[in-house]
């Protein structure tokens, strides 16, 4: 099971501010001291990011109702299968994390300097999003034949794929992931700055549906187009 490490994750002060739900241009005018806080957090975050990506690609050998049976002996199931993955001939399963050093630093600093701790935490949010995007780009450029199409990445907890169901399936497939990421009793990932997803691969998969279309938080998430329009 391939493991990829030492990713170059580049984030900016603006990324940190957006991860806090702020408009960088407005904040520079109204609260310039928070820009300095974000700059300090960005400087410290660089030494605290220890990136790790694990993945597996498996052929789909059978489809049945809301289930895809994979060649590796596992399955992906749920309404998300019928709606987005039914036409896939292969499934890519992956998980990413920036490890827990940054989270430990946030906890240690929170009571001493809450503004700094929140900015550092936002740096972690921006970093894991960037790592996920880098991993998806790597997969498409290096592992997936150029003549095949790919779906968007779908995460457990999205609409039509309950978090418990999705995480259980992904962590069953990525068996060795427990060395780096574990699940809480409520199926949240530890370290918290982690993400898991699946991507459908094939000639007939839907390439038009985006992650935001399946997310209940698209009106509040700083990454979504809707949120960016709200704060612009």
CB 39 within 8 A of CB 78: no
Q: Report the candidate in 179, 207, 157, 4 with the shortest Cα–Cα distance to residue 94.
A: 4
Give per-residue pLDDT as tens, 79-134. Answer: 999 889 999 999 999 999 999 999 999 999 999 999 999 999 999 999 999 999 99
Strand partners, 35: none
Asked whether the predicted pLDDT for residue 204 surpasses 60, the reply is yes
Q: What is the pLDDT of residues 7-41, one digit of tens each?
A: 999 999 999 999 999 899 999 999 999 999 999 99
First to last CA, the chain: 43
On whether the CB atoms of residues 210 and 223 are closer than 8 A, the answer is no
The residues with which 5 forms a beta bridge, in sequence order, are 52
Task: Report the domain count for the chain.
Answer: 1
* pLDDT for residue 220 is more than 70: no
Residues present in the chain in total: 232
Q: Tell me which residue range forms the domain holding 27.
A: 3-231
**CATH number of the structural domain spanning residue 66:** 3.40.109.40
Q: Residue 15 CB: number of other CB atoms within 10 A? A: 21
């Amino acid at each position: 099971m391939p493991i990829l490490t030492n990713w170059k994750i580049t984030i900016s002060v603006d990324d940190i501010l957006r991860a806090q739900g702020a408009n960088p241009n407005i904040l520079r005018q109204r609260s310039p001291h928070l820009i300095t806080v974000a700059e300090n957090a960005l400087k410290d975050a660089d030494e605290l990011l220890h990136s790790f990506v694990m993945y597996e690609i498996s052929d789909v050998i059978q489809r049945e109702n809301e289930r895809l049976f994979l060649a590796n002996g596992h399955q992906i199931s749920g309404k998300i299968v019928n709606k987005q993955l039914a036409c896939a001939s292969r499934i890519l399963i992956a998980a990413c994390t920036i490890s827990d050093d940054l989270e430990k630093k946030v906890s240690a600093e929170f009571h001493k300097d809450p503004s700094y701790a929140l900015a550092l935490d936002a740096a972690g949010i921006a970093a894991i999003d960037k790592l996920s995007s880098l991993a998806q780009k790597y997969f498409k450029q290096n592992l997936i034949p150029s003549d095949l199409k790919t779906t968007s990445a779908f995460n457990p907890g999205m609409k039509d794929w309950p978090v418990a169901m999705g995480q259980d399936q992904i962590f069953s497939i990525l068996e060795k992931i427990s060395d780096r990421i574990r699940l809480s009793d409520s199926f949240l990932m530890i370290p918290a700055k982690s993400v898991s997803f699946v991507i459908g691969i094939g000639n007939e998969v839907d390439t038009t549906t985006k992650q935001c279309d399946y997310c209940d938080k698209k009106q509040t998430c700083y990454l979504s187009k809707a949120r960016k329009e709200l704060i612009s």
